[in-house]
Amino acid sequence: MLYFPLMKKIFCPLIALLVIAADQITKYMIRANMQPGERIPLIGDWLSLYYVRNTGTAFSMFEGNRYVTVLLTSVLIIVCLAVIATEARAGHTLVPVLLTLVAAGGLSNLADRLALGYVTDMISCGSFAVFNVADIAVTCGCILTMLALLLFCREEED
């Protein structure tokens, strides 16, 4: 694995920058070229671009309550950053990188909530929730972090 100080100084910030840039660019493109509620099928009914203004958190929970969503997002980011720092000191290299995905996605969505009052969602898979690039980063980062921690715990027990 890469030498951690290199990751800490270059790799993690680069990942965060790429996630935030990809998310903000795709959101801007959707807002500039589509109307809220507009749907563009990509693969039949299975995959489409669907412009939604989400004022809630995951799966539109707490919809319309900006303060709760900003607070929850901020707490998520702070927890991720604290764990990144803790894991970095413990010598784990993968967990801080994965949590960088979570923190970057959270920061990008938080920026939308603060600037616009909503998060732009645009990826629709069938009847599943509508989401964005930041949501993908948060979800993948969380799942992969849990798997990595399970593997680390298992290695330490042996």
- Contacts of residue 4, defined as CB under 8 A and 6 or more positions apart, other chains included, come to 88, 91, 93, 96
CB crowding 9-34: b at 16 or more within 10 Å, else e = eebbeebbeebbebbbebbeebbeeb
Question: What is the C-alpha radius of gyration for the chain, rounded to an integer number of angstroms?
Answer: 17
Considering 23, 45, 112, 135, which one is annotated as catalytic?
A: 135
Active site residue 112: no
Considering 23, 45, 121, 158, which one is annotated as catalytic?
A: 121
Active site residue 23: no
Structure tokens given for 101 = 């995905």
Task: Give the active site residues.
Answer: 121, 135
